[in-house]
């Protein structure tokens, strides 16, 4: 099981069932996860597909699309921030 | 250094009083408080909703504050950031800096506010009579932050 | 706008709390508090004495604040300035500005502090173990004020 | 009677009797007052003799040395300010 976290406007688009999800065996990297999401949830895939979307793995920002995903990872999708 | 992300309303005056009590001999205290406005660009705001990524948000703000502290040599920094549902007139963010001299205190507050605007992992949604909308930083916010980062 | 010149110690946190209560919906509050330091340039300070010219000092500070308010379009300004004998750790001056946006609030506090440093009719004397000396503004203070006046 | 006010370091030099003083008939302007003070109180006269000394007449700053002095005027001598 991976834990997927969608923040801000991504959360409103994402299927709540994705919070705890068993990923197919072929999904082994962040790029693979994004491809899988784009297929399973096209509207969400489209929203995530921006250079300004950031991804955190286990609460650390990761920029490398080939970053591996392992069991129990917490993977968060962050839209552009609007703090302050 | 204190960084607090809170769902509860806070009183900026009381926070500032508590912060300065601990540092009476420092020389200079600068503060900034941002409030939830009753209207943005003429459009009335009902409730402002700010979402955090629990844990991550607190640590990232701490990292931004550490960065400012290192750049400007402040003696202490305080950040209080409200999350959740916020009503017009309530404080959203307080930044306070203690330093030996006024220039460092001013610069620290200003720079940290610029960083928070663009780099704090927080997501704002405004709810008004004509619906909701998520806010994202403007090109102007990014330009100001880039400029602030260079200047100091 | 409130300008107060006082011989009594004041609590910056309480002053800020009272000021912001009256303006909860303004958007941005910036403040600066200057404290009496325990040492200046390595030299211990026993008591700081600040002399005013009663009446004249209050009116001149009011004039400086009016000038800043006009230049920056702030919604409200507060100045509290201590005079008389001041001990290390006590607040000397508090400036607070309410504005619709953060840039105006920051700029107003900074500019008014620069004006006060060089143009407020106040005279400072530091008393320490090795005697008393009157302080006068440095060339650096004048340069900063000239620069601040141009920039805004 | 004129009221003379000396601020800051000027106050420490000035003779306290100057606070309420009857000026000689010949002293009719600020320049005349400064000359008279320089003669009566040389140390004070020397301290006042700087382009950075400001003078207020009845609590209004006056730069013109020929400004007239009349009965009951309050005339203040201000060293460079060090506020904030």
- pLDDT for res C151: 44
- D5 and C123 within 8 Å at the Cβ level: the answer is no
- What fold is seen in the domain D2-78? Ubiquitin-like (UB roll) (3.10.20)
Burial class (CB in 10 A: 0-12, 13-18, 19+), A43: exposed
Q: What is the mean pLDDT of residues D12-17?
A: 94
Give whole-number Cα distances, C116 to B38, B93, C145, D40, in Å.
33, 28, 9, 34
- pLDDT for res B152: 39
* Alpha-carbon distance A45 to nearest alpha carbon in chain B (angstroms): 18
- D82 and C53 within 8 Å at the Cβ level: the answer is no
Query: Mind listing the pLDDT tens digit for each residue in B75-88?
Result: 999 999 999 999 98
Contact (CB, 8 A) for C102 and C20? no
Tens-digit pLDDT string for chain C (152 aa):
999 999 999 999 899 988 877 665 678 999 999 999 877 666 666 789 999 999 999 999 999 999 999 999 999 999 999 999 999 889 999 999 999 999 999 999 999 999 998 899 999 998 877 788 898 877 777 777 677 655 43
Its pTM stands at 0.89
On chain D, the residues whose CB falls within 8 A of the CB of C93 are 83-84
Query: Mind listing the pLDDT tens digit for each residue in A21-44?
Result: 999 989 999 999 999 999 999 999
Contacts of A17 (CB under 8 A, 6+ apart): none
Q: Would an 8 Å CB–CB cutoff place B49 in contact with chain A?
A: no
Give whole-number Cα distances, C93 to A68, C10, C110, in Å.
56, 9, 13
- pLDDT for res C43: 67
- pLDDT for res C148: 65
Q: What single-letter DSSP state applies at residue A68?
A: B
For chain D, percent of residues with pLDDT exceeding 70: 98
Q: Would an 8 Å CB–CB cutoff place C89 in contact with chain B?
A: yes
Query: Mind listing the pLDDT tens digit for each residue in A50-66?
Result: 989 999 999 999 999 99
Confidence of residue D49 (pLDDT cuts 50, 70, 90): very high
- pLDDT for res B25: 63
Q: Would an 8 Å CB–CB cutoff place D5 in contact with chain C?
A: yes
Structural domains in chain C, sorted by start: 2-151 (3.90.1170.40)
Contact (CB, 8 A) for A84 and C101? no
Residue spans of chain B under pLDDT 70: 22-25, 40-45, 145, 148-152
- pLDDT for res C152: 39
The more confidently predicted of residues C129 and A80 is A80
* Alpha-carbon distance B121 to nearest alpha carbon in chain C (angstroms): 20
The 3-state secondary structure of chain B, one letter per residue: CEEEEECCCCCHHHHHHHHHHCCCCCCEEEEEEEECCCEECCEECCEEEEEECCCHHHHHHHHHHHHHHHHHCCCEEEEEEECEEECCCCEEEEEEEEECCHHHHHHHHHHHHHHHHHHCCEEEEEEECCEEEEECCCHHHHHHHHHHHHHC
Q: Tell me what ipTM this predicted complex has.
A: 0.87
On chain C, the residues whose CB falls within 8 A of the CB of B100 are 37
Asked whether the predicted pLDDT for residue A71 surpasses 90, the reply is no
């Amino acid at each position: 099981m991976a834990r997927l976290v969608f923040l801000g406007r991504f959360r409103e688009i994402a299927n709540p069932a994705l919070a705890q999800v068993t990923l197919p065996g072929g999904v082994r990297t962040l790029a693979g996860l994004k491809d899988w999401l784009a297929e399973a949830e096209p509207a969400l895939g489209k929203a995530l597909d921006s250079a300004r979307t950031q991804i955190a793995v286990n609460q650390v920002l990761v920029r490398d699309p080939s970053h591996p995903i392992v069991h129990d990872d917490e993977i968060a999708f962050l839209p552009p921030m609007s703090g302050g | 250094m204190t960084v607090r992300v809170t769902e509860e309303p806070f009183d900026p005056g009381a926070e500032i009083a508590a912060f300065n009590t601990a540092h009476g001999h420092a020389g200079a205290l600068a503060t900034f408080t941002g409030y939830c406005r009753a209207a943005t660009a003429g459009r009335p705001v009902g409730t402002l909703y700010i979402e955090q990524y629990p844990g991550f948000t607190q640590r990232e703000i701490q990292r931004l504050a550490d960065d400012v502290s290192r750049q400007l040599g402040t003696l202490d920094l305080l950040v209080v950031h409200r999350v959740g549902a916020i009503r017009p007139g309530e404080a959203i963010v307080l930044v306070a800096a203690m330093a030996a001299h006024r220039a460092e205190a001013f610069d620290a507050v200003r720079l940290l506010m610029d960083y928070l605007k663009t780099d704090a992992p927080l997501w704002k949604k405004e709810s008004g009579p004509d619906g909701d909308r998520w806010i994202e930083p403007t090109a102007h916010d990014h330009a100001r932050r880039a400029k602030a980062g260079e200047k100091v």
